[in-house]
Structure 1
Amino acid sequence: MNENNRQYILELVKKMEGLYAKQQTLSNEINEMRALLLQLQQSENATPISSTEKEKPSVEKIVIDEFPKTVETPIVENISSAKPMEEIQMEPAVVTTNVEIPKFAPGPKPKMTKSGLEKFIGENLISKIGIVIMLIGIAIGVKYSIDHDLISPVGRIVLGYVASIALLFVGFRLKEKYNSFSAVLVSGAMAATYFVTYAAYSYYDLFPRILTFVLMLAFTGFTVFAALQYNKQVIAHFGLVGAYSIPFLLNDNSGNIAGFLTYISIINIGMLFIAFYRKWQGIFYMAFGVTWFIVLAASIFQNKDHLFGTYFGFSTFFFLLFYTMFIVSTIQKGTLTFGTVTVLLSNTFVYYGIGYALISDNPSYSNYVGLFTVLNGLIHFVAALFIYKRQLAEKKTLYLLLGLVMVFITIAIPVQLDGNWVTLIWIAEATLLYWIGSKKQVLYFERLSYVLMLLAFFCLLQDWSECYYPIYTVDNRLASMRPIWNVYFLTSIMGIVAFYLIYKWQKTVLTNPEEKITQDKKLMSFVVPAILLLLLYLGPFMEMKYGFDLQMDKLLITRNIENYQVGILDAKMAIVMAVYSILYVLTISLLNNWKIKSTMLSSICGVLAIIVLLVYLTGGLMSHSVLLDNYMQNHIGAEVFLIRYFSIACVIAMLYFVFYKRKEKLLNKNMEVVFHIGINLVAIVLLSSELVQWLTLSHSKSEYKLGLSILWGCYALAMIAYGIGKQRQHLRILGMVLFGITLLKLFFYDVAYMSTIAKTALFVILGVLLLVVSFLYNKYNGKISDDK
């Protein structure tokens, strides 16, 4: 490469560096213009578009691609190694500018930045704080002038009105340029006029009551007019506060409740019209809260007896007024909000509470509480029907109103009726609501049915606790309901049928793959079967127990009663209740094995079987002993044996179907050991009881000594032999433990009271049994060692 080429390359490099520097400058200028355009667009978004501006042709939006913030300049480190001019391929710097001028249409409201917060505080908040502080200052100055008698009463009132008018004049003058600030000044001026007028009436007696009322009402009207002109809700709030304050400020203790509530009604109608016209929800909420507070306070602290019609009529008017506003507000918004739902529920239950208190406390109308409750539900039904027919709101609103209908119908039942009628209607209502909710997929109804199910169940328990006991009249004649044929057992049957239907519908829903299973549905899938099982058990149980209690009471009111008769009846009742429990568990287990096939229900049946078995082996066998003793004394016939063996057969059937037939699915290896031990313990107890019975019938004096020791020894030998044959170590160990107990009984109990011949026979028999056990262990030693 010659010297000329090298010099030319250096010149080109310098020229290219200059072009890159110009490109950087141009990029910075374009980015500054872009930032300015964005700022102008944000300011246009905050300003409403006039009708003339909407008619102007839209311009295109400018979209400018940003230039790189830094420019990397190529540097030729070694001129000698540079390529020839023709080999250098230089990419030109390209500036792409897509030009679209923005359409200044209203966009989303920008988030409040630090400057926006500063603007809010400076232009809005400080003005409100300032007007409050100014009013406080004026009040302090007025108080000082009063304390030192600097200004006459008339002068004070005149100065107050002058200050208010001046403040109002300044506010109106600043309206066009400073709208928000002007609104605050006007609000403060109107508040000052209220207080000055009240001072002229109350403290100085300058104005009569009628004139003061007219002035304050005029100030209220002017305040509302100013709020509409300014389109500022805060001014309307000042007017509303003043309007509600007038009756309290001008109260003369005349007790004219009707006139007072009439005035509140007129104010509410006007304010709610403004709230509807301007869509000012704050005015609606304030009128709602203040009105019900006034009504509640008046109804609590005033005598309601002679003002029943006044309080009830105006409460109903306020309820319907706010209820109508709820419907209108919901239709306007097209959906439910937290505020509208809160107003609806508060309005509904506050009115119901006031009406319930008024009606129930009035002797002339106390029987119409249920009718009042139903009428409340009817109002919600009419509103729901109106919305449904005209399709004015979404389904959530319709379901909410229908839910309130169901709530008031449900409340009306216990309010008006007594006894089991409440339970019957709640059972029917819960079933109907669940059917509608599950079939029509109305989740609100379904969840409401869950509440009614629990209410119906607990109400049924209360009916049982109150009604299943004999009732005596004054002359000791038994006056009670008939067993089985009574309305309470009918209620139990209806409850069983209802919960069975709910269970079947619930099972259909849960097995549907397209159904969305929520947490409450999963929970109720356990609660409903549990309630059904309890009703199936407790319904017949309460009837049978009531039948025995009735017989017992008949015996107790008989003068010539023997003690054994009471003992026989108690024993029969205990055995029958135990056998019924056994048959119940057996029946549920059979149904589960053949039809339901639920592992959880099998486990529940197992737990119930253990509980029932323990009850029978303790109380049942003792009751059998009582019957046997009475049989020995000829107080009872041979039915004692039928009762005994039927109950034992039920126990064996329960053990077989509940445990043995399901042991493969219910029991693991550890639980199987417990099962075998339990079965053998039950067998030992039953065989011992049976041996004692027959030895008692044979009038043997040593039934608890010789016979039981031989029985236990033989059973221990049988368990050890079976354990060796089936390679079950736990049975062999249980047999040895039983042998040990038998030997302890032999040495510490039997020997002391047995004859020589009996002792000889017992020792010989037990010795032979132990030798047989030892022989079996020696003979099958290999089999035992292989036992795992």
Structure 2
Amino acid sequence: MRISKPENMYILVIILIIIVIFLFTQLSTRIRNLENEISEIRKIQAEKQKEEEKEIAETVIFAEEKPDIAQEIPSEVSDVKEQPKDRIRPVFEFLQQNSLTITGIFTLVLGIGYFVKYAIDKNWIGEISRAGIGFAVGVTIIAMGHFLRRNYTVFASIITGGGIAILYFTTTIAFREYHLFAQSTAFSVTCIITVLSILLSYYYKSEILIIFSLFGGFLAPLMISTGQSNYPFLFTYISVINIGMLAVAFLRQWKSIGWISFIFTYLYLFYWTLEKTEIITIYFYIASYIIFYVFALQSYFRKQSLSSRDILMLVLINFTSIIGTVYIFKQLQYDPVIIFPVSFGFLNCILLYRECAENKSSLSHSVFSGMVVSLITVAVALQFRAHLITSVWAVEATLLLFIWKKNNLRIFKIFFYILFPLVIIAQMMTWAEYLDAKNLTPVFNPIFLTSSVTVFTTLVNLVLLRKLPESKLHDNSFFENLFTSVSFAIVYVALLLEILYQISEMPPIIIFSTAMLFSICYIFTILLFRKKLEIRQMLEIALLYIFLSLIIFNTVISGTGIVSHIVMKKLDIQYYFLYGLYLLPLLYTTLKILRDSAFFQIRLSYWLLTATIVIAVSMEFYHLYILLFAKAIPQVPKLQTHFSLLYLPIIWAVLASIFIYIGLKSNAREYGKAGFALLVVMILKLYLHDVWKMDNVSRIIAFIILGIILLLSSFLFQRLKNLLKTIVEKKDDEPENNHHEL
């Protein structure tokens, strides 16, 4: 008699079941013995713990009588209390302790799925039987979890969650693959499964189980979707889930379920908003706002305090709701768009008034005041047609930094550093609109108003960072320096682009000169207020190097271009005086700022400063010479040659003498070296190049003037040298005179 393959399969399964039952019985007996031994050990440990508690109590009583010991014990206790809580560690401990259980239930679900698939491929069972097996297995696993819940709570919760997952997937397969249900029936079944799982989690007091339930409840619409969008029905269902979540959260104090619901809800809302913008979406935004706002404030109404997660939830609720609702109003061209930030601000103002009425100065007071100011700022920005995303993210980032400053919770700093780069990206996209924009009014245009919001929030961020204690700043000095540099860059680019757009019709040399002058004045302003801004030393030196480099480029390129345009009658003389305004920041920086900075700690700084002064003075004398004597552009090359041959060596000789004198007087040798280097360059230029292109008269004049300057410089050098020698000898003689007097 032959045994068919299905019968072989059945025999193999029966043998495996017998082996599993035998092994389970043996393991169960050994586990029971181990549990008895563990209970005995726990009794012994409990007795020892009681004895230790008595000894500690006696020590505390003794310490109260002796103040020296009393001072020692609280310090140890305070050290223990001051240790920060590790929020991630419990998660890893849970995964470590229950990894086998989670892996086991996942493997079981896959095994059942593969077995059912094998049975389907062999045509052992029909479509209705397949769905029936799935539901039966799910219910069986849930029942097993129910019986194991008293002694094995976590294990039973995971088992029950696996059973609920099987019910969800069975319903999905029965609807999608086998078409056993209509969509309304499948949706009703998933709703029943969700409600059942929430009730079980509440009854079992299991947060793990309700997390499974929420995942299944929010993913169920995707499982039974046919591609036809019925968003009002979908969000009615989601609102019901959120209300159930809110009730369980208030009864059981489970915060994680609120975050899961928040993430899923707003992902669905944003997808609906982008795919099909409808006014009815506003009502679901408002409903979700109220539900999650109440969820975030539950600890506030119970304990009169806000945790870090509650504050973060408040921030995200307000700003995500503003983005969604204002976007819908703008797309549908409804007014006023500021109704939502003003309404949300009014709600926060009520809570702020409650704090003020009770004369509280707690963290909650700071949070609500920051929320009100931020929402009003967003409302004002949107009223003037600023860009939505950029403005909201900029204000939100500042609010996160403000809250971090108030409570010193690291999570807000992390979110700030995540959001701030997004603000920069959004602002860059806004700036790109200048390329295609036409006829924008000065200042009061959407692009610059958006930039103004970003600039304002960036300046507030800098102030907040400057007011932080030094210990907080030094924890991440690299990121603080980078943030400061990027913040100054944002303000610079925002102002510069608006200026350049408004003068874009002018000649290119005017645009370039204006950009250079603005850059010089901007860096000069930062250097002028460097102490109030608390600019770090390395950043200050870098700004000074950039400042002096800009001076060189400005005099060589901008000045020469403007002078050429004036000679060609394309520009008025007033543009030269406007260009010359850079001399005021240069003089003040040279005489005041450089003396009080760490600029001269680097030897190269002396050479950069002397090069800047030489180029600036030389170029300005050249510009004045051309403006005075050039009547037309063809005369410029001849005048340029004459200036280079006759006047430039004289200017360099005078400057070299000044540098040598300053170097000797101030004992700054680098100035002297720079002066001698300039003299060498000037002499080489004179003897190797200039002398061969001069006429006799010019050659005689140049040599006479140069000789006189060199002789005077030598005389001053010798006189100063003798003076310094006399001072040194006098100081050396002072101790001997004092000795004779004694």
Q: Is the 8 A contact 1:165 1:189 kept in 2?
A: yes
Q: Residue 308 in 1 paired to residue 275 in 2?
A: no
Q: Is the 8 A contact 1:585 1:654 kept in 2?
A: no
Q: Which residue of 2 aligns with 1:283?
A: 257
| Separation in 2, partners of 1:546, 1:674 | 26
| Separation in 2, partners of 1:685, 1:207 | 97
The 3-state SS of whatever aligns with 1:309 is coil
CA shift at 1:592, angstroms? Answer: 5.8
Q: Residue 455 in 1 paired to residue 456 in 2?
A: no
Q: Residue 585 in 1 paired to residue 552 in 2?
A: no
1:652-699 deviation line (CA, Å, top 9, x unaligned): 99999998568644613x54243355479779999xx9999xx9xxxx
Structure 1 unpaired stretches of 5+: 1-34, 47-55, 64-106, 109-115, 473-479, 511-519, 556-564, 636-645, 696-700, 729-788
Q: Which residue of 1 aligns with 2:43?
A: 40
Once the two structures are superposed, the pairs formed by residues 353-502 of structure 1 within 5 Å of their partners are: 354-355=324-325, 358=328, 362=331, 364-365=333-334, 371=338, 375=342, 378=345, 382=349, 385=352, 388-389=355-356, 393=363, 397=367, 401=371, 408=378, 411-412=390-391, 417-418=445-446, 454-468=489-503, 470-471=505-506
Which stretch shifts more, 182-191 or 344-353? 344-353
The 3-state SS of whatever aligns with 1:251 is coil
CA shift at 1:233, angstroms? Answer: 1.9
Once the two structures are superposed, the pairs formed by residues 258-297 of structure 1 within 5 Å of their partners are: 258-297=232-271
Cα 1:295–1:180, aligned 2, differ >3 Å: closer, same or farther?
A: same
Q: Which residue of 1 aligns with 2:161?
A: 187
CA shift at 1:267, angstroms? Answer: 0.9
Q: Is the 8 A contact 1:243 1:267 kept in 2?
A: yes
| Separation in 1, partners of 2:525, 2:452 | 10
Which stretch shifts more, 491-500 or 286-295? 491-500
Q: Which residue of 2 aligns with 1:628?
A: 629
Q: Which residue of 2 aligns with 1:744?
A: none
Q: Which residue of 2 aligns with 1:566?
A: 568
The structure where helix makes up a greater share of residues is 2
Q: Is the 8 A contact 1:426 1:452 kept in 2?
A: no
Q: Which residue of 2 aligns with 1:176?
A: 150
Q: Is the 8 A contact 1:227 1:235 kept in 2?
A: yes
Cα 1:527–1:317, aligned 2, differ >3 Å: closer, same or farther?
A: farther
CA shift at 1:437, angstroms? Answer: 7.9
Q: Which residue of 2 aligns with 1:241?
A: 215
Q: Is the 8 A contact 1:567 1:626 kept in 2?
A: no
| Separation in 2, partners of 1:126, 1:601 | 65
The 3-state SS of whatever aligns with 2:233 is helix
| Separation in 2, partners of 1:380, 1:613 | 63
CA shift at 1:257, angstroms? Answer: 1.2
CA shift at 1:124, angstroms? Answer: 4.3
Which stretch shifts more, 426-435 or 192-201? 426-435
1:64-103 deviation line (CA, Å, top 9, x unaligned): xxxxxxxxxxxxxxxxxxxxxxxxxxxxxxxxxxxxxxxx
Q: Is the 8 A contact 1:691 1:707 kept in 2?
A: no
Q: Residue 255 in 1 paired to residue 224 in 2?
A: no
Q: Is the 8 A contact 1:503 1:528 kept in 2?
A: no
Q: 2:697 aligns with which of 691, 697, 703?
A: 703
Amino acid at match of 1:566: M
RMSD (CA atoms): 6.5
| Separation in 2, partners of 1:316, 1:494 | 48
Q: Is the 8 A contact 1:128 1:184 kept in 2?
A: yes
Cα 1:212–1:619, aligned 2, differ >3 Å: closer, same or farther?
A: same
CA shift at 1:576, angstroms? Answer: 5.2
CA shift at 1:219, angstroms? Answer: 2.0
Q: Which residue of 1 aligns with 2:106?
A: 132
| Separation in 2, partners of 1:634, 1:150 | 104
Which stretch shifts more, 234-243 or 247-256? 247-256
The 3-state SS of whatever aligns with 1:134 is helix
CA shift at 1:333, angstroms? Answer: 10
Cα 1:651–1:436, aligned 2, differ >3 Å: closer, same or farther?
A: farther
| Separation in 2, partners of 1:468, 1:690 | 42
The 3-state SS of whatever aligns with 1:308 is coil
Q: Which residue of 1 aligns with 2:71?
A: none
CA shift at 1:263, angstroms? Answer: 1.2
| Separation in 1, partners of 2:48, 2:284 | 48
| Separation in 2, partners of 1:403, 1:441 | 24
Q: Is the 8 A contact 2:657 2:713 kept in 1?
A: no
| Separation in 2, partners of 1:653, 1:330 | 75
Q: Residue 613 in 1 paired to residue 614 in 2?
A: yes
Q: Is the 8 A contact 2:606 2:671 kept in 1?
A: no
Cα 1:284–1:186, aligned 2, differ >3 Å: closer, same or farther?
A: same
| Separation in 2, partners of 1:286, 1:431 | 35
CA shift at 1:258, angstroms? Answer: 1.5
CA shift at 1:723, angstroms? Answer: 6.5
What is the TM-score when the length of structure 2 is the normalising length? 0.57
Which stretch shifts more, 265-274 or 434-443? 434-443
Cα 1:469–1:197, aligned 2, differ >3 Å: closer, same or farther?
A: closer
CA shift at 1:171, angstroms? Answer: 3.2
Q: Which residue of 2 aligns with 1:322?
A: 292
| Separation in 1, partners of 2:94, 2:650 | 88
CA shift at 1:460, angstroms? Answer: 2.2
CA shift at 1:589, angstroms? Answer: 4.1
Which has the greater radius of gyration?
1
Amino acid at match of 1:245: L
Once the two structures are superposed, the pairs formed by residues 661-672 of structure 1 within 5 Å of their partners are: 664-665=665-666, 667-668=668-669, 671-672=671-672
For this pair of structures, how many residues does the alignment match? 573
1:507-554 deviation line (CA, Å, top 9, x unaligned): xxx7xxxxxxxxx766777789999x89x999x99xx989969x95xx
Q: Is the 8 A contact 1:568 1:626 kept in 2?
A: no
The 3-state SS of whatever aligns with 1:150 is coil
What is the TM-score when the length of structure 1 is the normalising length? 0.54
Q: Is the 8 A contact 1:585 1:605 kept in 2?
A: no
Q: Which residue of 1 aligns with 2:21?
A: none
CA shift at 1:231, angstroms? Answer: 1.5
Q: Which residue of 2 aligns with 1:220?
A: 194
1:630-672 deviation line (CA, Å, top 9, x unaligned): 49x999xxxxxxxxxx99999999999998568644613x542
Amino acid at match of 2:672: E
| Separation in 2, partners of 1:153, 1:424 | 64
Which stretch shifts more, 238-247 or 205-214? 205-214
Q: Is the 8 A contact 1:167 1:186 kept in 2?
A: yes
Q: Is the 8 A contact 2:168 2:193 kept in 1?
A: yes
| Separation in 1, partners of 2:607, 2:351 | 51
CA shift at 1:144, angstroms? Answer: 3.2
